[in-house]
Structure 1
Amino acid sequence: MTGNAPTRILLVTGMSGAGKSTVLRTLEDLGWEVVDNLPLLLLDRLMATALPDGSNERPLAIGIGAMTRGFDAEAIVRRIKKLSETHGHDIGTLFLDCAGGELERRYSETRRRHPLALDRPAPDGIARERELLAPIRRWANRLIDTTEMRANDLAAEIRRSFAGPGEGEPVVTILSFGFARGLPRNADLVFDMRFLRNPHWVPDLRPGTGQDEPVSAYVAGDPAYAEAMERIEGLLLMLIPRYRAEGKAYVTIAIGCTGGRHRSVHVAERLAKRLRGEGFSLTLAHRDLGAAPQDSLEGSPTDQSMDGNAAS
Structure 2
Amino acid sequence: MEFVIITGMSGAGKSRAIAAMEDIGYYCVDNIPPKLVKTFTDLCMQAHGKIQKVAIVIDARSKEIFGNIFEGIEDFVSGQNGFKILFLDCDDATLIQRYKETRRSHPLMDGEITSIEEAIAAERELLKKIRSSADYIIDTTYLSVNQLREKVVGIFLDDTKQSMLVNCMSFGFKYGLPKEADLVFDVRCLPNPFYVPELKNLTGLDAPVREYVLKWEQAQNLIPKLFDLVDYLLPLYCNEGKTQLTIAIGCTGGKHRSVVFAQLVAEHMQELQMRYTISHRDIPKQ
- Normalising by structure 2, we get a TM-score of 0.77
Match for 1:102 among 87, 90, 94?
A: 94
Query: Which deviates the most, 184-193 or 113-122?
Result: 113-122
Contact 2:96 2:116 in 1 (8 A): yes
**SS state at 1:114 partner:** coil
- The change in CA–CA distance for 1:213 and 1:89 in structure 2 (over 3 A counts) is closer
- The change in CA–CA distance for 1:47 and 1:172 in structure 2 (over 3 A counts) is closer
Q: Does 1:22 align with 2:16?
A: yes
Cα distance in 1 between the residues matched to 2:43 and 2:72: 16
- Partner residue in 2 for 1:79: 72
Shift of 1:255: 1.3
Cα distance in 2 between the residues matched to 1:259 and 1:42: 52
**SS state at 1:103 partner:** helix
Contact 2:89 2:140 in 1 (8 A): yes
Query: Which deviates the most, 183-192 or 243-252?
Result: 243-252
Partner amino acid, structure 2, of 1:179: F
Partner amino acid, structure 1, of 2:176: G
Once the two structures are superposed, residues 176-220 of structure 1 have per-residue CA deviations (whole angstroms, 9 ceiling, x without a partner) of 3221222223322111234x25447977898487624344333x3
Contact 1:175 1:284 in 2 (8 A): yes
Contact 2:167 2:246 in 1 (8 A): yes
Once the two structures are superposed, residues 15-73 of structure 1 have per-residue CA deviations (whole angstroms, 9 ceiling, x without a partner) of 11001122223223333333443444444444555842524853333322234243565
**SS state at 1:68 partner:** helix
Give the share of equivalent positions with the same residue, in percent.
36
Contact 1:187 1:254 in 2 (8 A): yes
Partner amino acid, structure 2, of 1:80: I
Cα distance in 2 between the residues matched to 1:212 and 1:8: 41
5+ residue gaps, structure 2, are: none
Q: Does 1:232 align with 2:230?
A: no
Contact 1:15 1:98 in 2 (8 A): yes
Cα distance in 2 between the residues matched to 1:143 and 1:80: 16
- The change in CA–CA distance for 1:266 and 1:66 in structure 2 (over 3 A counts) is closer
Shift of 1:266: 4.4
Question: Following superposition of structure 1 onto structure 2, how do residues 7-86 of structure 1 map, counting pairs within 5 Å?
Answer: 7-47=1-41, 51-55=45-49, 58-71=52-65, 76-84=69-77
- Normalising by structure 1, we get a TM-score of 0.71
Question: Following superposition of structure 1 onto structure 2, how do residues 147-166 of structure 1 map, counting pairs within 5 Å?
Answer: 147-163=141-157
Contact 2:193 2:212 in 1 (8 A): no
Contact 1:38 1:69 in 2 (8 A): no
Q: Does 1:184 align with 2:178?
A: yes
- The change in CA–CA distance for 1:108 and 1:214 in structure 2 (over 3 A counts) is same
Contact 1:205 1:215 in 2 (8 A): no
More helix by share: 2
Partner amino acid, structure 2, of 1:99: D
Question: Following superposition of structure 1 onto structure 2, how do residues 275-294 of structure 1 map, counting pairs within 5 Å?
Answer: 275-280=269-274, 282-288=276-282
Shift of 1:102: 1.0
Q: Does 1:123 align with 2:112?
A: no
Cα distance in 1 between the residues matched to 2:42 and 2:72: 13
Shift of 1:143: 0.9
Question: Following superposition of structure 1 onto structure 2, how do residues 160-309 of structure 1 map, counting pairs within 5 Å?
Answer: 160-163=154-157, 168-194=162-188, 196=189, 198-199=191-192, 207=200, 211-218=209-216, 220-221=217-218, 226=221, 228-244=222-238, 248-280=242-274, 282-288=276-282
Partner amino acid, structure 2, of 1:15: M
Partner amino acid, structure 1, of 2:16: T
Contact 1:38 1:62 in 2 (8 A): yes
- The change in CA–CA distance for 1:80 and 1:178 in structure 2 (over 3 A counts) is same
Shift of 1:283: 4.2
